[in-house]
Amino acid sequence: MKDFARLIERLAFTPGRNAKLTILSHYFQTTPDPDRGYALAVLTGGLNLRQVSPSLLKRLAAERVDAQLFRLSYDFVGDLAETIALLWPGETLENSEVSVTEAVRLLRETGKLALPGIITDLLDRLTPSERLAFLKLPTGNLRVGVSARLARTALAMGTLRSVDEIEEIWHGLTPPYAPLFVWLRGGPAPAVFEAPFRPVMLSTPVTPEELSAFDPADYLAEWKWDGIRVQAVTEGDNRRLYSRTGEEIGASFPEIIEAMSFQGAVDGELLIRRGDQVAPFSDLQKRLGRKQVSARMLQSHPATLRLYDLLIWQGEDLRPLPLDARRERLETASFYSDRIDLSPLLPFQSWNDLAGLRAAPHAPVIEGVMIKRRDSPYLAGRPRGPWFKWKRDPMVVDAVLLYAQAGHGKRSGFYSDFTFGLWEDADLVPVGKAYFGFTDEELRDLDRFVRKHTTQRFGPVRQLAPELVVEVAFEGLNPSPRHKSGLAMRFPRISRIRWDKPASEADRLQTLREML
């Protein structure tokens, strides 16, 4: 655990990307198996120790630490593992050495009744920095500025493989990745199960000014649908539906799995569609995460897969081909049905033509347009240039701040989570929450306002004097019986602080109803 604790500490205090890569690469090359594999799993979010829940850790801390002290410390630090690691009392046992592998084995194999005692014993044996490393095994969220892609890039350094080769076989591998490390040294490739997930290609935002530098004849355009990005893969008798991160979600959408009559891998958008009408994202949310879907839900919320790219076709890898060629194959395919259709291309000759389409889409669930170079191969990650997303201008209302709560992670110690409301007659009705959209300087200004204008406290939440108006931008609006306002915003954020505007001039709830 000492080496893993040192790794986390060095990464946390090393700002540069190249320096982080060097630190990670050295760790992977010098740390024995299986410790390095479990460390890699934590860094990439692949270690599942869900039996160690946050509530269990809080309960153990409550047995050793004063409750008020723990609450205040947690509010300030903003990270559960770090708070417990720093507050845990008692002297560390001398000559105590716990490996990452031993800790994972104990957490994974210990029964529910004995688990609290095992965790307590390990915390007693470790130093504060080792406690933090140990607690990060089940809780994740290392907060050291390392993405999964960066960790895999470091893994490839000094080996016979590239990061793209690692990405290609990554899905389906399980910690501690022993076959992966053998392959990196020149051994045989790890066995990959049929119908695997392939790394997706992502787009970057674009502005009209940036688009003006490009020739519109070099690009295709299509609607940006308000669903979720998915990859559907069929190989042999295996049919799998993946989210954009590689999570298998086929159990939630059995009608899509049944309709996948092709052999290959396709890229598209998962939507709820009734006839020709695409439903809002809130309808799709009701299907997500379900292990079983009732017949009633299948009928009331029918899913559709809308395709826009073809990766693998009848055993042939089409990703190196230009988009035009992949699109031609997709258009001539014969597997379409009422469950799987093709995303249409938009007709345009100039960027002004496309701007007109973007400004007035035929359906409110359309978020904007996607713009893709005709000659672009399908590249994993987010390359700058081949694919752009040009989203619609957001909806905007002026709202009044009502409540605030302290943030976590980098925002620990600041009030950064805000509830805001609109006027309904003489009352302010909460309509949403926002956690971002403001700069670091604006965050400090908002934090000062919260501390000076608190009227009541409810645990970690502060009620505020209804004086500060903020401009709230959001991407969509849906009816919601679960909210007091009857409405739910999609991706709300604070786009501007209206220090100049009195609260009495904030918008009314009727404004949102008219938008809907």
Domains of the chain: 2-139 (1.10.3260.10), 204-391 (3.30.470.30), 395-515 (2.40.50.140)
Residues 365, 226: contact at Cβ < 8 Å?
yes
Count of Cβ atoms closer than 10 Å to residue 434 Cβ: 23
Output the CA torsion sign for 61, 63, 66, 68.
positive
- Max Cα–Cα distance, the chain, nearest Å: 74
The tally of CA atoms less than 13 A away on the side-chain side of residue 268 is 24
How far, in Å, CA of 415 to CA of 234, rounded? 48
List the beta strands (DSSP E) in 142-193. Answer: none
Q: Which of 2, 20, 58, 224 is catalytic?
A: 224
CA-angle at 479, arms to 473 and 483, nearest 5°: 85
CB within 8 Å of 17: residues ≥ 6 apart: 150
Q: What is the CB neighbour count within 10 angstroms for residue 51? A: 13
Please say if 501 is a catalytic residue.
Answer: no
- Name the pTM for this structure: 0.80
From first to last of its 516 residues, the chain has per-residue pLDDT tens of 999 999 999 999 998 999 999 999 999 999 999 999 999 999 999 999 988 999 999 999 999 999 999 988 887 787 899 999 999 997 665 556 899 999 999 999 999 999 999 999 999 999 999 999 999 999 988 889 899 999 999 999 999 999 999 998 998 899 999 999 999 999 998 987 789 999 999 999 999 999 999 999 999 999 999 899 999 999 999 999 999 989 999 999 999 999 999 999 999 999 999 998 999 888 998 999 888 899 999 999 999 999 999 999 999 999 999 999 999 999 999 999 999 999 999 999 999 999 999 998 988 889 899 999 999 999 988 888 899 999 988 889 999 999 999 887 667 778 999 999 999 999 999 999 999 899 889 999 999 999 999 999 887 789 999 999 999 999 888 888 888 888 888 889 999 999 999 999 999 999 999 888
